[in-house]
Amino acid sequence: MSTGGGALVDRMRAALPLLLADIEALVTCESPSADLAAVAASAQRVAELGTQRLGVAPEHIAIDGRSHLRWRFGAASSRVLLVAHHDTVWPLGSLGRHPFDITDGIMRGPGCFDMKAGLVMALHAVAALEDRSGVTILVTGDEELGSPTSRELIESEARGCDAALVLEASADGGALKTARKGVSLYEVQLVGRAAHAGLEPQRGISASVEAAHQILAVCGLGDPALGSTVTPTLLSAGTTTNTVPAAGRFAVDVRVPNAAEQARVDRAMRSLRPVLNGAEVIVSGGPNRPPLEPGASRSLYLLACALSESLGLPAPQSASVGGASDGNFTAGVGTPTLDGLGAVGGGAHADHEHVLVDALPGRTALLVALIAELLGPSREARSGATNTAAASGSDRP
């Protein structure tokens, strides 16, 4: 298929009914991340659909019982990696409360926005290419859990690629995600000594009181000026209402804009010391996802803007977001990464999750053009042009 101008958008618009049918096929196959059987059934549905569109079956990759899929095209090393996931946060039975539906140009259904529409867009975009050699599509089944089994697979596939294109849903208004905060996750355990709260509380060492001291200390580790947040979340302590608690724990969610800040917070967390005499503080966990910093996406974003204009589409805005994705991993191994290339809509993980149907053809056409440009002979010239623009400070808001 030609990637020239508005003709490509017209072709994608003509293919919209099939694209919508494919999204419905995936949305109506529920795939909550924690349910291995449901994820396996979803992977099979994705594999069948992808085989129909691409003419070749994927490789099934099972890691600790979790189902991932990979398509590789061409004998040479991959140059462009498309990253998607088929698991969702929605429990089985969610379709009964939120059935798949398209009304007045709005698609609804659990997981339609995050990110089954983006996954289908990836399949249709690669199917539209005249030459797929050098493309890899990786579809994982545990992204919503933090990618515990797929992280090494993602990083391995991304190393050495010219670009990683992540089909997560767009930011507000269709903006591409050009930066994501890094994530660190910790658990702080408090060890004290039990005693009867009424008869001899002075003999105890309260894990609850120690937790209070540590929570206040943790709350002071963020840096609002940089956008770093350090947030105590889940908390528990004690066994009965009349016992000084001997043990407690709380979780900490950390979001940071860059690697240096992630390292600073990690050092600070590991430097926590008990306040109460005789208490013990044990810190476990650490960085979970590296930041996707703006420099990792800048040239790809400028290329996407230029291609949008050549397609007769509005140039997309850019956005920095606090949520993480597998794009954090691809950027973390040094691969240029552009995220948020999937559906336009909103309400991820919420009852009002939705996709704007009219935006799908243009977004899919942009993805086709972006892959083709990255694979084509003019890629180096285009890269030089975008790097020159980046160096001169040219960018989109």
Residues 222, 109: one domain?
Answer: no
Measure Cα distances from 132 to 57, 72, 128, 147, 372 in Å. Answer: 15, 9, 9, 27, 8
In degrees and rounded to multiples of 5, residue 117 shows phi and psi of: -65, -45
The answer to whether position 397 is within a domain reads no
Burial class (CB in 10 A: 0-12, 13-18, 19+), 227: middle
283 domain residue, yes or no: yes
Domain assignment of residue 215, yes or no: yes
d(CA 111, CA 121): 14
Residue 56 included in any domain: yes
Residue with tokens 């298929």: 1
Same domain flag for 10 and 112: yes
How far apart, in whole angstroms, are the C-alpha atoms of residue 346 and residue 174? 9
Contacts of 111 (CB under 8 A, 6+ apart): 26, 27, 30, 31, 88, 89, 90, 353
* Whether pTM exceeds 0.85: yes
**Angle at CA 382, nearest 5°, toward 380 and 383?**
60
- Residue-number span of the structural domain to which 118 is assigned: 5-180+291-391
> Three-state DSSP class for 388?
helix
Two tokens, residue 159: 């190393």
CATH number at residue 243: 3.30.70.360
The one-character DSSP state at 139 is E
CATH number at residue 131: 3.40.630.10
* Assigned domain for 365 exists: yes
Tell whether 54 is covered by a domain: yes
Which of residues 289, 323, 340 is at a domain's end? 289
Residue 125 sits in the same domain as residue 209: no
Measured torsion, CA atoms of residues 269, 273, 276, 281, in degrees rounded to the nearest 10 = 60
Please give the average pLDDT of every successive group of 10 residues along the chain, which has 397 residues. Answer: 72 97 98 97 98 98 96 92 98 97 98 98 97 97 96 97 98 97 97 98 98 98 97 98 98 97 98 98 96 97 98 97 95 97 97 98 98 77 38 37
Same domain assignment for residues 251 and 275: yes
**Are 227 and 330 in the same domain?**
no
Residue 97 sits in the same domain as residue 155 = yes
Spell out a b/e string for 263-274, using b for 16 or more CB atoms within 10 Å of the CB, else e. ebbbeebeebeb
Q: Do the Cβ atoms of 386 and 392 come closer than 8 Å?
A: no
Last residue of a domain, one of 289, 309, 344: 289
Same domain, 158 and 230: no
Asked if 281 and 210 sit in the same domain, the reply is yes
Pairing of strands 66-72, 135-140: antiparallel
Count of structural domains within the chain: 2
Q: Residues 6 or more apart from 122 whose CB is under 8 A from it?
A: 82, 84, 137, 167, 367
Contact present, 289 and 146 (Cβ < 8 Å): yes
Residues 206 and 261 occupy one common structural domain: yes
168 contacts 310 by C-beta, under 8 angstroms: no
Which of 267, 289, 311 lies at the terminal end of a domain, its last residue? 289
Whether residue 18 lies inside any domain: the answer is yes
Q: What pLDDT, on the 0 to 100 scale, is given for residue 4?
A: 54
**Could you tell me if 67 and 46 lie in one domain?**
yes
- Residue 333, pLDDT score: 97
Taking Cα atoms as reference points, which of 142, 141, 138 lies closest to residue 157? 138
Residues with Cβ within 8 Å of 71's Cβ and at least 6 positions away in sequence, in order, are: 50, 54, 56, 58, 59, 126, 135, 136, 137
**Tokens, residue 59:** 């490789």
| Residue closest to 180 by CA, chosen among 325, 301, 302, 82 | 325
The partner residues of 283 in beta bridges, in order of sequence, read 188
Same domain, yes or no, for 344 and 219? no
Instruction: State how far the Cα of 274 lies from the Cα of 280, in Å rounded to an integer.
Output: 6
Per the CB < 8 A criterion, the answer to whether 181 and 256 are in contact is: yes
**26 shares its domain with 149:** yes
pLDDT at position 5 is: 67
Give Dmax over CA atoms of the chain in angstroms. 83
SS (H, E, C) 183-248: EEEEEEEEECECEECCCCHHHCECHHHHHHHHHHHHHCCCECCCCEEEEEEEEEECCCCCEECCEE
Q: For residues 115 and 109, give the distance between their C-alpha atoms in angstroms, rounded to a whole number.
A: 11
Q: Show the tokens assigned to 131.
A: 């030459």
396 belongs to a structural domain: no
